[in-house]
Amino acid sequence: MIVKNYKVKTSSSTNIYVNADYNYYKELAQERELVVITDDVLYALYPDAFENQKCIVIKSGEENKTLKTVEKIIEQLVEFEADRRTLIIGFGGGMVCDITGFVAGIFMRGASFGFVATTLLAQVDAAIGGKNGVNFNNYKNYIGSIIQPEFVICDARVLKTLPEDDYKSGLGEVIKYALISDMDLVEYLNENVENIFNQVPEVLSFIIKKCIGIKAKIVEDDTNDFGLRHILNFGHTIGHSIEIIENIPHGIAVAKGIVEEIKISLKLEYADKSLIEIAENLISKFISDYKCEIRQEHIDLLVKDKKKTGDMINFVFLTNIGEPLIVKTEFKDIIKALKS
């Protein structure tokens, strides 16, 4: 059953299909030439998705989200005689979607693209909103663009094949949405821990739709990330350095970053201490190892964050559940709070 739930309305809108079969991208192509970009793990898991398709298979793993991989993909697009009329499909998780969107945006100055999001993180976050890019050395997403996909397909059935840590990684982003949006979603997650881990279809579908709805509204209001969209960075400023230093999945690092950023909110008197209790209670139900010891190497990466302007950064303070506050803050104040 195809359920067309959301349309992200920007200058180039995106149709998002929840509960759609992952093969639905072939129908959406509408007889256009297709090239599918996926990783080696998914290529082996879902042969029916790639049968009779021109495929570019890249190595899985965040360490492969680089300009070198971009060059290899473009070389293969040229070999396939792809052109601007070709529809490029990113079939995979956040890494595949990020790199596919970036390649499509620069190939012949722009080709159409769509995503089949195969991880929870991609379905609730990475595939939605048009942010695409690659890493540069130890810098997360330093090279990128904001270009909207034509469509995103979210087939929750594929989540059954995810390793446990990758599933939990998606839950880290879900928790972020709950904390920045409303207490109702926080309570829903608290009440459905077992159902979420058992991937009960109606529960998972509700969560995916809820997160997409939250992000879609934010992206519609601030497509190019000049204001409101900054609230989606909650947990990411500290989380990105944790992800790189500890070499852990993105969403788990975000969950750890959330805890550290709420502590900063407390120390700089933007929030009450009850907030950290609510957040840690929720996070601990899904990610047991959520605490982090911030060291100098985290801080060294933090000051190179791509969101900074000079000695300032638009930092997201959570003042209460559903009440994020963006404040232009000096890095030295953030670092002082982290060290205290």
A 10 A CB-CB count for 301 gives 18
Task: Spell out the domains of the chain, with CATH numbers in brackets.
Answer: 3-161 (3.40.50.1970), 164-339 (1.20.1090.10)
CA-nearest of 9, 21, 17 to 209 is 17
- Residue 300 φ/ψ region, left for φ over 0, alpha for ψ in the -120 to 50 degree band, beta for the rest: alpha
| Dist. CA 93–CA 250, nearest whole Å | 11
Q: What is the pLDDT of residues 26-48, one digit of tens each?
A: 999 998 999 999 999 999 999 99
Q: Please, which pLDDT band fits residue 10 given cuts at 50, 70 and 90?
A: low
Residue with tokens 């400023």: 237
pTM of the entire predicted model: 0.94
| Strand pairing class (87-92; 113-117) | parallel
| Strand pairing class (308-309; 312-320) | antiparallel
Length of the chain as a residue count: 340
- Local structure of 57: helix, strand or coil: strand
- Report the percentage of the chain scoring pLDDT > 70: 96
Q: Please, which pLDDT band fits residue 133 given cuts at 50, 70 and 90?
A: very high
Mean pLDDT of the chain: 94
Indicate if the pLDDT at residue 328 is higher than 80: yes
| Dist. CA 258–CA 264, nearest whole Å | 10
Q: Please, which pLDDT band fits residue 6 given cuts at 50, 70 and 90?
A: low
Q: What is the pLDDT of residues 147-188, one digit of tens each?
A: 999 999 999 999 999 999 999 999 999 999 999 999 999 999
What's the token pair of residue 262? 């709420």
- What pLDDT was estimated at residue 308? 82
- Local structure of 147: helix, strand or coil: coil
**Contact (CB, 8 A) for 143 and 70:** no
Q: Please, which pLDDT band fits residue 223 given cuts at 50, 70 and 90?
A: confident
307 secondary structure, DSSP code: T
Per-residue pLDDT, averaged over 293-298, amounts to: 92
**Contact (CB, 8 A) for 38 and 91:** yes
Q: How far is CA 168 from the centre of its chain?
A: 13
- What pLDDT was estimated at residue 140? 87
Indicate if the pLDDT at residue 306 is higher than 90: no
Indicate if the pLDDT at residue 2 is higher than 60: no
What's the token pair of residue 139? 């810098």
| Dist. CA 138–CA 45, nearest whole Å | 30
Phi, psi of 299 (to 5 degrees): -65, -40
